[in-house]
């Protein structure tokens, strides 16, 4: 007899949603994570009362009513709206591409003038059907904006020329002929008050987070089900194979790590981009006046600087002004074994390799693969939650 109904590998969003839902259905769930903390890449760490997004900025946004209603059960969201600033060699532009950007770039004043300018540049480039990110970008916003605000940033972030990247990546960004610099076309947006770690802890039903493998202690009850959380537990053995002893603890496994890692990379490596953060605590109240400043030129080595306090308006949880500030410079690099994978590189080559891994995953009885890494998809948080909820419906009824 297995000790638990489910073993969830990875205490990020996908794993936390699954654990919550399974426990509500009366199941016993053991959640493990390799890191010393829960919450995966949405983890926030408190520094001088600032919730620092340790694995990169996360701004929750969605058009999915079901996901929005769901997530409200675990956190109150503030009214943060993402409006990053682009810094091109010291020239500042409003993002995403909107009338403020077009005015600064070309001096145009009306939406008609902006549209004409974009159309003229698109015609000159002679692009009929965009086949890659460069062509897609130029046909959306013209060559000037492509050169100053897209090319350098994208090539730094992805480490590949824009002509070799899929067009869909740039379609994530809105282009607007209005003075609206909300980065997302989402009905709902915000940051969980108190940080993401607290939100994920609530999803895990407040189970005490234990270090190590002393399984069988500290479970939180959810109705007739339960959740138990152990961090600092590596699912893989020294040879890089899934640990049999852990798998045998449960009837079924929900695995949210990298799909190629699960199979010991036996079909080859899927490509990911990794990110390195240089985080500093500064003895001043305001460094850049905005949560995100993107450095869109090719020469600045970092892609962006995040000033974490502005996700929460520079206030602590009691509403007091915070006299210090924490900033993180982000450096993008090609993932290699041992690094943290962040962004799947969803081009054709990797798509084909993923399809082969997916066949292996489908044939792996008793294991469900999910999340950004388990499904090898450039998912936003809301899509991860939606995917987890869909899977819960199939799995739990
Ligand atoms: N992008 C850009 N310039 C910017 C910001 C984004 O060219 O100043 C492009 C870039 O190709 C990037 C893509 O838009 O990979 C998606 O950006 P997003 O902000 O959605 O990326 P994330 O927040 O997931 O890192």
Domain co-membership, 375 together with 351: yes
Is the CB of 189 within 6 Å of ligand 1? Answer: no
Give the per-residue pLDDT at 2.
73
Q: What is the DSSP string of 184-230?
A: ---SEEE-BTT-HHHHHHHHTTT--EEESS--SS-PEEETTEEEEEE
Domain co-membership, 20 together with 152: no
d(CA 232, CA 235): 10
Segment 66-79 shows an average pLDDT of: 98
Q: Given ligand 1 and candidates 154, 168, 274, which is best to mutate, with the most ligand atoms within 8 Å of its CB?
A: 154
213-260: per-residue pLDDT in tens?
Answer: 999 988 999 999 999 999 999 999 999 999 999 999 999 999 999 999
Is the CB of 336 within 6 Å of ligand 1? Answer: no
The pTM of the full predicted model, rounded to 2 decimals, is 0.96
Domain co-membership, 284 together with 222: no
Atom of ligand 1 nearest to the CA of 158: 15
| Residue 47 is assigned to a structural domain of this protein | no
For residue 290, pLDDT beyond 80:
yes
**Phi-psi group of 30: left, alpha or beta (phi > 0 → left; psi -120 to 50 → alpha; rest → beta):** beta
Q: Which of 183, 212, 247 is the last residue of a domain?
A: 183
**Phi-psi group of 212: left, alpha or beta (phi > 0 → left; psi -120 to 50 → alpha; rest → beta):** left
130-185: per-residue pLDDT in tens?
Answer: 999 999 999 999 999 999 999 999 999 999 999 999 999 998 899 999 999 999 99
d(CA 179, CA 182): 9
Give the closest residue (by CA) to ligand 1 atom 15: 154
Between the CA of 153 and the centroid of ligand 1 the distance, in Å, is 8
Q: Which residue has tokens 């041992």?
A: 338
Contact 376, 346 (CB under 8 A): yes
Looking at the chain, the whole-number percentage of residues with pLDDT higher than 90 is: 97
Domain co-membership, 32 together with 157: no
Q: Which domain holds residue 24?
A: 4-38+204-270+343-396
Domain co-membership, 249 together with 162: no
CATH number of the structural domain spanning residue 259: 3.40.50.720
Mapping DSSP onto H, E and C, the string for 349-377 reads: HHHHHHHHHHHHHHHCCCEEECHHHHCCC
Label residue 202 by pLDDT band (50, 70, 90): very high
Give the per-residue pLDDT at 172.
85
Domain co-membership, 116 together with 155: yes
Domain co-membership, 144 together with 256: no
| Residue 278 is assigned to a structural domain of this protein | yes
Between the CA of 154 and the centroid of ligand 1 the distance, in Å, is 7
Task: Give SS3 for 12.
Answer: coil
Domain co-membership, 294 together with 381: no
The domain total for the chain is 3
Task: Give SS3 for 2.
Answer: coil
Close Cβ partners of 199 (under 8 Å, ≥ 6 residues apart) = 39, 42, 71, 74, 75, 192
Helices (H) and strands (E) in the chain, counts: 12, 18
Q: 136, 157, 142, 116: which is closest to 296 by C-alpha?
A: 157
Give the per-residue pLDDT at 141.
97
Domain co-membership, 367 together with 240: yes
Domain co-membership, 216 together with 153: no
Atom of ligand 1 nearest to the CA of 151: 7
Domain co-membership, 382 together with 312: no
Between the CA of 324 and the centroid of ligand 1 the distance, in Å, is 28
Give the per-residue pLDDT at 381.
98
Label residue 286 by pLDDT band (50, 70, 90): very high
Average pLDDT, the chain: 97
Domain co-membership, 175 together with 223: no
Is the CB of 20 within 6 Å of ligand 1? Answer: no
Segment 203-209 shows an average pLDDT of: 96
Give the per-residue pLDDT at 1.
58
């Amino acid at each position: 007899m297995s000790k638990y109904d489910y073993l969830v590998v990875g205490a990020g969003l996908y794993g936390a949603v699954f654990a919550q839902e399974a426990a509500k259905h009366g199941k016993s769930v053991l959640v493990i994570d390799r890191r010393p903390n829960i919450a995966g890449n949405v983890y926030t760490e408190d520094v001088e009362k600032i919730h620092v997004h340790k694995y990169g900025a996360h701004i929750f946004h969605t058009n999915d009513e079901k996901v929005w209603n769901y997530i409200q059960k675990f956190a109150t969201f503030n009214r943060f709206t993402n409006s990053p600033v682009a810094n091109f060699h010291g020239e500042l532009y409003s993002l995403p591409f909107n009338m403020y950007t077009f005015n600064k770039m070309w001096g145009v004043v009306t939406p008609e003038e902006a549209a004409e300018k974009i159309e003229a540049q698109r015609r000159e480039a002679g692009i009929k059907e965009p086949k890659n990110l460069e062509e897609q970008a130029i046909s959306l916003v013209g060559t000037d904006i492509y050169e100053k605000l897209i090319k350098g940033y994208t090539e730094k972030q992805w480490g590949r020329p824009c002509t070799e990247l899929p067009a869909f990546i740039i379609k994530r960004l809105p282009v607007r002929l209005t003075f609206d610099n909300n980065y997302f076309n989402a009905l709902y947006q915000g940051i969980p008050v108190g940080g993401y770690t607290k939100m994920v802890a609530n999803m895990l039903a407040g189970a005490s987070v234990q270090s190590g493998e002393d399984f069988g202690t500290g479970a939180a009850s959810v109705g007739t089900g339960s959740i138990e959380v152990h961090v600092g537990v590596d699912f893989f053995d020294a040879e890089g194979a899934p640990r049999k002893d852990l798998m045998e603890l449960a009837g079924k496994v929900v695995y949210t790590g990298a799909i190629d890692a699960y199979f010991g990379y036996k079909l080859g490596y899927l490509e990911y981009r990794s990110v390195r953060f240089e985080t500093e605590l500064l003895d001043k109240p305001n460094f850049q006046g905005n949560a995100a400043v993107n450095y869109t030129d090719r020469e600045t080595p970092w892609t962006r600087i995040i000033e974490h306090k502005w996700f929460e308006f520079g206030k602590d949880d009691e509403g007091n002004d915070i006299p210090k500030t924490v900033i993180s410079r982000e450096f993008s690099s090609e993932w290699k074994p041992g690094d943290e994978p962040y962004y799947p590189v969803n081009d054709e080559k990797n798509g084909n390799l993923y399809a082969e891994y997916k066949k292996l995953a489908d044939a792996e009885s008793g294991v469900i693969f999910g999340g950004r890494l388990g499904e090898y998809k450039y998912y936003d948080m809301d899509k991860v939650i939606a995917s987890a909820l869909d899977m819960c419906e199939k799995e739990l009824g």
